[in-house]
Amino acid sequence: MDKYKVLLVDDEEEVIHVIMKKINWEGLGFSVVGYANNGIKAFEMVEEFQPDVVMTDIKMPFMDGMELANRIKAEYPATRILFFTGFDEFEYAKGAIHLEAEGYILKPVNSVELTNVFTQLKIKLDQEISEKRNVETLQKYYMESLPLMQANFYSSLIEGRIREEEIPGYLSDYRLSFSGPFLCCLVIHTSSSQVPDNMNPLLLATSVHKQAKERLAEKWGAKYFSYLGNMILISELKAENEVSDLTDECDRFCKYVRSMIGAVVTIGIGQVCNNILALSQSYNSAREAVSYRAIYGASRSINMKEVVPQKMEKSTLTKDGDLSELLKMIRLGSEKDVAEAAGQFLNHTSYPNKSLQQHHIDMMELISALYRFSMNNDIKKETGDSFISYLTDYRMERASSQLIETNEKSYIIAKNVGYTDPNYFSYVFKRRFGVSPSKYRREHAEVEN
């Protein structure tokens, strides 16, 4: 360990030389870096060497020891002060309690006393450094752990496990702020089944997360973390209507990563809120929006506000009860029971004043519910296929028929069979039939001719 630095100050040079020879400085763990014969020169040397200890006389020209000690304590409070002085000034020096001097040594200096004083001072300095280093170690560990603690806080927040009175403490401890004034939760889902050849799904998702940090999180001032296999962004909005721009930005991002690295990414946009505690609701709606990728297509953003109407119809409770009954019959009833339950559900979702958009939404809800039901009840074991496979096959059969029997453009046919993204429709069609929709139409036209 380095030696503690000592500066000696006395206007009598002979006294300084005597003190330097009185004790074994190196053996005690100290090193005399220099000496000064007045307070002004001493302070200049303090600025230059920044000693750990200044041992000074009181009566000196230009600046006495008391004034020197005051200036040192004001600008270098960690420096320890030792006074050595004559008998007539001794009680005066001891009265300067505010200087917090480490000791008062009476002239002439006694080697035994001087050794004892510096031995005790060495112990105090060692303890101080040890405590300081422990604090610095803990501070370093705290800073290294901060991202993990922040992520845990975000997770608890979207799970709804944080109480309102706990929020200020967490924000302070984890050095966080949510200026808002509006907040919106995003769920970024990267498909693990649709990946480029020879690409590890985990590495692909990691690449998507990196791109999302750079292209979305930074621009929208978002907090980001991983949760249940997805990347979650908590975006801050200056105005509630900014969510439209955010949705468009996310849509462009999905298409960007699809073209650049072949990732099939869906981003669910949750409901906008103006309260940090409401982020759990925003997250739940964003997660639900992602589940609609089976209906709306992947490689796009899905804003839950566009999926679910803001005001529910009066028949909602009845409709939910009919849906529960339908799912129950699918699981336990006969084919006749299923048909009756389906008819009951459709009767309650159909009424004269309903708009085509509302009817479309109801159908999307039904299909989404059936999809989730199939996942939860493992229909695949019973039927040999999943519900979404049935839905995709049905869509593709309708699309192939329209390609042969009509002259409609591909993007119109895509919308007719439930795909809002014509590129994704072409992708699914080619995966099903081995050729693009346009080539499929040409081949069948040539056969007929």
Residues 430 and 393 in one domain: yes
- Give 89 or 60, the one with higher predicted confidence: 60
51 near 92, Cβ under 8 Å? no
- 307, 333, 367 - which closes a domain: 307
Same domain, 189 and 90: no
**Token pair listed for 170:** 């967490």
pLDDT tens digit sequence for 15-50: 888 888 888 999 999 999 999 989 999 999 999 999
At 7, is the pLDDT very low, low, confident or very high (cuts 50, 70, 90)? Answer: very high
Whether residue 135 lies inside any domain: the answer is no
39 and 97 in one domain? Answer: yes
Question: CA of 347: how far to CAs of 6, 307, 316, in Å?
Answer: 94, 22, 13
Residue 136 lies in a domain: no
What CA–CA distance (Å, rounded) separates 300 from 307?
14
Instruction: Answer yes or no: do 378 and 293 share one domain.
Output: no
What is the predicted pLDDT for the residue at 375?
A: 53
pLDDT tens profile 235-267: 999 998 888 889 889 999 999 999 999 999 999
Residue 168 lies in a domain: no
So what's the pLDDT on residue 198? 86
Q: Are residues 214 and 267 in the same domain?
A: yes
Same domain, 259 and 218: yes
| Interatomic CA distance for residues 177 and 77, integer angstroms | 34
pLDDT value of residue 83:
87
Percentage of residues of the chain with pLDDT beyond 70: 81
Q: What is the mean pLDDT of residues 276-283?
A: 92
Which pLDDT value is given to residue 288?
87
Task: Give the pLDDT confidence score for residue 317 in this predicted structure.
Answer: 40
Residue of 414 and 89 predicted with greater confidence? 414
Strand partners, 231: 188, 226
Domain encompassing residue 26: 4-129
> What are the tens digits of pLDDT across the range 300-340?
998 877 665 433 343 444 555 666 677 667 666 677 777 78
Q: Cα 321–323–328 angle (5° rounding)?
A: 95
Do 342 and 248 lie in a common domain? no
Contact at 8 Å (CB) between 388 and 379?
A: no
Tell whether 430 is covered by a domain: yes
CATH number at residue 369: 1.10.10.60
- Are 320 and 443 part of one and the same domain? yes
Give the pLDDT score at 419.
Answer: 80
Q: Is residue 173 part of a domain?
A: no
Model confidence pLDDT, tens digit, residues 423-432: 778 878 888 8
| Single-letter residue type at 135 | V
More confident residue, 211 or 87: 211
At 229, which CATH number?
3.30.70.270
Asked if 110 and 221 sit in the same domain, the reply is no
State how far the Cα of 36 lies from the Cα of 57, in Å rounded to an integer.
10
CA distance 23 to 30: 10
Give pLDDT, residue 315. Answer: 43
- Given a cut of 50, is residue 195 above it in pLDDT? yes
In this prediction, residues 123-134 reach a mean pLDDT of 85
Q: Clarify whether residues 105 and 202 are in a common domain.
A: no
Query: What is the residue-averaged pLDDT of the chain?
Result: 82
As a whole number of Å, the CA-based R_g of the chain is 39
Mean pLDDT to the nearest integer, 285-300: 84
CB atoms within 10 A of CB 352: 4
- The CATH number that applies at residue 27 is 3.40.50.2300
What are the strands of the beta sheet with 182-190, ordered from one edge? 223-227, 230-237, 182-190, 265-269, 300-303
pLDDT band at residue 118 under the 50/70/90 scheme: very high
Please indicate, yes or no, if residue 101 is contained in any of the structural domains: yes
Q: Tell me how crowded residue 392 is: count the other CB atoms within 10 A of its CB.
A: 18
Residue 149: pLDDT over 60: yes
pLDDT at 134 over 60: yes
pLDDT recorded at residue 154: 92
- Co-location of 188 and 297 in the same domain: yes
Q: What is the mean pLDDT of residues 291-297?
A: 78
- Return the SS3 of 355: coil
| Count of structural domains within the chain | 3
Considering the domain boundaries, does residue 158 fall inside one?
A: no
On whether the pTM is more than 0.85, the answer is no
Q: Number of helices (H) and strands (E), helices first, in the chain?
A: 20, 10
Residues 204 and 296 in one domain: yes
Residue 229 lies in a domain: yes
Confidence of residue 109 (pLDDT cuts 50, 70, 90): confident
For 142-148, what is the mean pLDDT? 87
CA-CA distance, 144 to 82, in Å (whole number)?
40
Long-range contacts of 236-239 (CB under 8 A, 24+ apart): 236/178, 236/179, 236/180, 236/182, 236/183, 237/180, 237/181, 237/182, 237/183, 237/184, 237/272, 238/181, 238/182, 239/182
